Structure 1
Amino acid sequence: MIKVHCFVSCVCEVIKKATDVDHRPYYFGVWDADFDITEKMELTYHSENISHDYFCKWYELLYGIRVKKWYDESISKQQNIEKLVEMMEEKESYRHVMVMLDLSKLPERENKFHQSPFPHYVMLETTDDPEEWFMFDPDFRWEGALPKERILAAIREPSVKGGYYFDAKEINQPTNETIEAYFNTCLKRSYNPMTEAVSSIIEAYTVGDRKHHLSELGNALKQLPVLAIRKYAYEHAFAYFANKISMEEMEFELWCDEIELLVKGYTTVQYRAMKLAMTSDYNQIPLIQNKLDEQNAREFKIKQGLVDCYNKWLLCEQVRAQ
């Protein structure tokens, strides 16, 4: 499965290693996970307004593991780094440490989105060499030893701040009741937040307050690819329910194709917006809006298909309980 959210991927890695516990329900919260729009009407996946409290709460409710912040915003960055170093040196094997760093400052790593800065959560472990740490990035399927000082330098960047830890001595099997509650909390059945956000940005730069800054529209949507991949979380949900209701493989693959088209549709929107920004060709506006309408229709179709799978799963679970 494609990884789609660095925070979620980090905490899920522990669940994946527990062979009798399924991590896929946790991805229900990703397809419409929080993002932000700046004062300049720029779409962003990272900002001061975005919190991971929602994911922390449901991680504990689903799996019984409490995720705690170690990063303290009331103290300096250097004090937080000293705190991290001490925690790494003293931590038990069952404790997992996450930290936000600027991935663009680690040229050893592929930055496939070409973003700078690129705030990103990774997991850290010590090694036998006191000058190296082992960095594990589940989101991009990368792991390896790097000089500790290079990692700390990427953490020192002013564009990033954040860190969590969690102890995984025991992992609970999520109950059906909790999965039901989480699914119904996560699925926004009447609107698609990201498509609506992109529409509002297009409007702002064409007829709204930002219309005199049309040339900046491409930059306003430059993080759209980072957010678009979150829609692959639908695939995790279909896979979970498909297994439970014995869905035909062909049907599952058809839904995967729809999800792929949804993700790639945002690439088309971004390309047309960039063309509009560079050429001021207002004939692009109806083309962009038509594509956004198509995106909305496709995502509602996916959501309805997922609801149908969910309802079949509920029925199957009720039968099993009898």
Structure 2
Amino acid sequence: MIKVHCFVSCVCEIIKRTPGVDHRPFYFGVWDADFSVSDEQVLSYHSPHTRHDQFREWYRLLYGVTIESWYNHQQSKEANIDRLIELVETRPSDRQVMVMLDLYRLPERENKFHQNPFPHYVMLEATEDPEQWFMSDPDFRWEGVLPKDRILESVRSPAAAGGFCFDGLDIQHTPAETVAAYFAQCMKAETNPFTDALRQILHAHIGPDARQPLANLPRAFREIPVMAIRKYAYEHAFAWLLEDQGRTAEGDPWFEALCEDIDRLVKTYTQIQYRALKLVMSGNAALLSGVEQLLDEQDQREFSIKDSLQGLFAEWQQQHPDLTVNTRTSALEVLP
């Protein structure tokens, strides 16, 4: 399965290594995971206010593990780096230490989206060499040893500010009731927030309601690829709901057809980005209708995927006749 969200990938890694516990239900919250649109109508997968509170609370409810924030946004960057060093170098074997760094500042690491800056979560451990740290990056399927100073330099980036730690001693098997409640909280059956945001940003740059220069649209759409891959989380949900009923996902024609639809959903977002760039470069307003048509097609495609997923979820519920979905399992509001 494709990794789609660095925070989620990091916290799921320990779940994957726990026999009898499945990490895939946690991906229910990824396909419509939160993002930001600035006052200038610029899309961003991360903002200074991102704390992942909803993910952290549901992780506790699903797996019984509390994710603590060690990064203090009220303190200086150097104070937080001192705290990071302490956590890494005194880390018990069962503790996971996460930090946000700027991957752009580590050119030896692949920056698949070629972004500057590129805030990204990884996990760190000390090694026998005090000048070298071990880095695990589950989202990009990379791990290896890098100079401690180089890692800390990437943490010093103004674009990177965040970190968490959690222990993996008492991971619990997730009750079906909690999975159902999480699905109910995550499923936005009547809206597609990402496509809605792209439509809003587009019309803020061109058309009768435009209030931003058209020349700014490429920057506003720059991070589409980073967020589009989140839609691959649908694959995790379909596969888990099938397999938890004793059915086989891989090779099943229905599942494989859905994966093709999901892949088309992801790749069409890139097509939207390219069409918007062509619109800006040509200055031909007539191209706007083509971008709008693609956005409309994305809505139809994703609503169809969601309908199929809800149908499969209903079948899964039938396997649990005593199941009562309690959407108030958490005091948190629906995931944004």
Same fold per superposition (TM over 0.5): yes
> How many pairs does the alignment contain?
320
CA distance in 1, matches of 2:73, 2:208: 36
Paired position in structure 1 for 2:127: 127
Cα contact 2:40–2:212 (8 A) shared by 1: no
Match of 1:88 in 2: 88
Letter in 2 for 1:250: P
Answer yes or no: is 1:168 the counterpart of 2:174: no
**Matching residue's letter, 2:24:** R
| 2:101 is aligned with 1:101 | yes
Distance 1:311 1:14 in 2: 29
Distance 1:318 1:15 in 2: 27
Equivalents in 1 of 2:317, 2:248: separation in Å?
A: 14
What is the match of residue 303 of structure 2?
300
Which blocks of at least 5 consecutive residues in structure 2 are unaligned?
324-336
1-side partners of 2:29 and 2:23: how far apart? 12
Contact map agreement 2:133 2:146 (CA 8 A) in 1 = yes
What are the ranges of 5 or more consecutive residues in structure 1 without an aligned counterpart? none
Secondary structure class of the residue paired with 1:39: coil
The CA deviation string for residues 248-281 of structure 1, in whole angstroms up to 9 with x for no partner, is: 6111101101100100110111011011111111
1:180-195 to structure 2, matched below 5 A, reads: 180-195=180-195
Q: Of residues 310, 313, 319 in structure 1, which corresponds to 2:313? A: 310
Q: Is contact 1:98-1:163 (8 Å) kept?
A: yes
Displacement of 1:48 in angstroms is: 2.0
1:239 — aligned with what? 239
Mark the CA change 1:166 to 1:38 in structure 2 (over 3 Å): closer, same or farther. same
C-alpha distance in structure 1 between counterparts of 2:100 and 2:212, whole Å: 36
Which residue is 1:255 aligned to? 258
Q: Secondary structure at the match of 1:11?
A: helix
Secondary structure at 1:222 match in 2? coil
- Give CA deviations for 1:278-299 in whole Å, capped at 9, x if unaligned: 1111111110111000000000
Q: Give the secondary structure class of the aligned counterpart of 2:213.
A: helix
Q: 1:36–1:49: 8 Å Cα contact kept in structure 2?
A: no
**Partner-residue secondary structure (3-state), 2:292:** helix
Q: Percent identity?
A: 52
TM, length-normalised to structure 2: 0.93
Residue 320 of structure 2 aligns to a residue whose secondary structure is: helix
* Partner AA of 1:107 in structure 2: P
* Residue pair 2:204, 2:212 contacting (<8 A) in 1 also: no
Structure 2 equivalent of residue 75 of structure 1: 75
TM-score in terms of structure 1 length: 0.97
Computed over aligned residues only, the root mean square deviation of the Cα atoms, in angstroms, reads 1.3
Give the corresponding residue for 1:63. Answer: 63
Aligned mates of 1:147, 1:105 — CA distance in 2: 13
Cα deviation 1:43-83 (Å, max 9, x = unaligned): 00011233300000000000000000000011110011001
Normalized per residue, the structure richer in helix is 1
Deviates more, 1:17-26 or 1:204-213: 204-213
DSSP-derived class of the 1:71 partner = coil
